[in-house]
Amino acid sequence: QQQVKQSPQSLIVQKGGISIINCAYENTAFDYFPWYQQFPGKGPALLIAIRPDVSEKKEGRFTISFNKSAKQFSLHIMDSQPGDSATYFCAAIGNQFYFGTGTSLTVIP
């Protein structure tokens, strides 16, 4: 079964808006939660990551919010730009990597 559930499948946001992508997991053994960004024709690239002992991590316009009790985490992209248009994957790491199914983000100028 899908170890990490990701939503939405696709997202369209106006330039300057906030993009929010959500992920949920079940296995409490996961202890590292990275987000990957993938542009067409390229491999996924590590964007930002968080550990469950922290509720929020911010790097520039990208923020991960983590809710350990709810077993949910989300990626917020502030001031979204057309260059942010890409597919985003959340992941959870335990004894293996488990990826979400991806969110295709389109930022409209």
- Residues engaged in binding another protein (CB under 8 A): 31-32, 34, 36, 41-46, 49, 89, 93-102
Of 15 and 51, which CB lies nearer to another protein in the complex structure?
Answer: 51
Q: How far is the CB of 99 from another protein (least distance, A)?
A: 4
Nearer to another protein, 62 or 102 (CB): 102
- Burial label, 82 (beta-carbon count in 10 A; 0-12, 13-18, 19+): exposed
Euclidean distance between CA atoms 100 and 88, whole angstroms = 9
- Tell the smallest beta-carbon distance from residue 42 to another protein (Å): 5
Helix, coil or strand: residue 67: strand
